[in-house]
Amino acid sequence: MNGTLYLCATPIGNLEDITLRVLRTLKEVDLIAAEDTRNTLKLLNHYGIKKPLTSYHEHNKYEKADELIGHLLRGENIAVVTDAGTPAISDPGEVIAHKCIEQGIRVTSLPGACALITALTMSGMPARRFCFEGFLPVDKKERTHVLERFAQEERTTIFYEAPHHLSATLEDLCKAAGNRQITLCRELTKKFEEAVPTTLEEAIDYYQDNAPRGEYVLVVAGLDPEEKKSREELAFSELPLSAHMEMYMQKGMSRKDAMKQVAKDRGISKRDVYRMLLQEEPDGQTQE
């Protein structure tokens, strides 16, 4: 019978933020796979837990996952822990969880501390709908794609960032999406915890004179729906009306339906669209 993979949430700062279930599981499993065995050893020593530890991190996540699956297939139970927070979120736990599911090995997640949820809830920003981007990609093409998508995002968006990349990331976010509201969270659950509400431009100015310290969670306001509508209407207003009509008619719309959609895009009436088309067409006539 196969063993079980336990994804165990560990504290993101305050060692008291660990559940009784996680502590019990760490005591009962056969092996603990840790992103950083030194960090995890401090946690285990704090709670008097003595279990075999093995390293499972970004640079060995594929080959080590296969090795760990071998233990699971032999009936051993394994706990996976990250440096801090919930495994599989922006960390290699995602890889082994996927591989286990492919092979029919049971995976269960033991909930607990999670930096993105902690930051979102303390930011005061809309939390009914939100999205998580984690760390921005290093690859320029992929990074540009993510930023373009973010610029049109109406939901609150959460990013992770390291201190040495913070200023560049703030500048990229501002360049892509304008001067949005942002809450910068750091040292979460620790003595010097901070959650600073500001704007992207103000944050950029601040960190020009003040070195960032600690790992950051950035909670950024979404694009205001009315602003998005105004941007779209402005973009469409700069497009010739005939080209705007043709865009929809090439998709199979009838002329009448295309006129309705163009009117909606531009925030004007269908009658106005008809009048403007009359002015554009050489013979002064158009058909509905």
Among 215, 220, 103, 226, smallest CA distance to 151 is for 220
pLDDT tens by residue, the chain, 288 residues: 999 999 999 999 999 999 999 999 999 999 999 999 999 999 999 999 999 999 999 999 999 999 999 999 999 999 999 999 999 998 899 999 999 999 999 999 999 999 999 999 999 999 999 999 999 999 999 999 999 999 999 999 999 999 999 999 999 999 999 999 999 999 999 999 999 999 999 999 999 999 999 999 999 999 987 776 666 666 676 777 877 878 888 888 888 888 888 888 878 888 888 788 777 665 544 544
Lookup: tokens for 284: 């002064």
* pLDDT for res 281: 64
Q: State the total domains in the chain.
A: 3
The pLDDT score that the predictor gives to residue 229 is 64
**Within this chain, do residues 154 and 204 fall inside the same structural domain, yes or no?**
yes
Determine whether 260 is exposed, middle or buried from the number of CB atoms within 10 Å of its CB (0-12, 13-18, 19+).
middle
Distance of CA 18 to the CA centre of its chain: 24
Does some domain include residue 160?
yes
Domain final residue, candidates 85, 113, 141: 113
> For the range 11-16, what are the long-range contacts, defined as Cβ-Cβ under 8 Å and sequence gap of 24 or more?
11/43, 11/84, 11/112, 11/113, 11/189, 12/84, 12/85, 12/113, 12/114, 12/115, 12/118, 12/188, 12/189, 13/84, 13/187, 13/188, 13/189, 13/190, 13/193, 14/189, 14/190, 15/43, 15/46
Residue 89 belongs to domain with CATH number: 3.40.1010.10
Could you say which of 93, 113, 133 is where a domain stops?
Answer: 113
Q: Indicate whether 196 and 171 sit together in one domain.
A: yes
3-state secondary structure of 261: helix
Instruction: Please tell me whether residues 148 and 238 are part of one structural domain.
Output: no
Question: Rounded to a whole number, what is the distance in angstroms from the first to the last CA of the chain?
Answer: 70
For residue 190, give its domain range.
116-223
The CATH number that applies at residue 206 is: 3.30.950.10
Question: What confidence score (pLDDT) does residue 284 get?
Answer: 46
**Residue where one domain finishes, among candidates 182, 203, 223:** 223
Residues 169, 130, single domain; the answer is yes
